[in-house]
Amino acid sequence: MTGTIVIYFSILGMLVGTIGMILSKDLIKKILSLGIVETSINLMYTGISARSGIIPPIVSGDFSSAFYADPIPQAVIITGIVISFALLCLSLVFAIIIYNRYHTMNVETIEMIFEREKQ
């Protein structure tokens, strides 16, 4: 039950983050929206692992009676957390480089300057 509610809320969070990425014109806000999507995906995997039980999957003695959480989605999302950290770092570096070159974070202004430079 808990896992199901968490999964529905995480899909909602992904929707909010994606719409934020489309609507915002600021590069930093776009990266923050990407962070919201990544966190929602982590939450979704946690919800999926909580469907079989909410006890942490660290076994002590008898494990036939207790309802442990599913360890496989949690192990997969450990990979996902590190990758999202790496993605955040690299996109921030590119944002810094773009700011140093165009002195703005607005994507429309950057596109305009880029088009003018190309001509």
Binding site for other proteins (CB under 8 A): 3-4, 7-8, 11, 14-15, 18-19, 22-23, 51-52, 56-60, 63-64, 68, 70-72, 74-76, 78-79, 81-83, 85-86, 89-90, 92-94, 96-97, 100
CB distance 40 to 10 below 8 Å: yes
- Residue with Cβ nearer other proteins (44 or 119): 44
Separation CA 67–CA 2 (nearest Å): 14
CB of 82 to other proteins, least distance (A): 6
- Residue with Cβ nearer other proteins (79 or 119): 79
Closest CA to 48 of 23, 77, 22, 21: 77
CB of 113 to other proteins, least distance (A): 20
For residue 57, which amino acid is it? P
CB distance 59 to 32 below 8 Å: no
- Residue with Cβ nearer other proteins (63 or 114): 63
CB of 42 to other proteins, least distance (A): 13
Q: For the residues of 5-37, what is the DSSP string, one character each?
A: HHHHHHHHHHHHHHHHHHH--BHHHHHHHHHHH
- Residue with Cβ nearer other proteins (14 or 43): 14
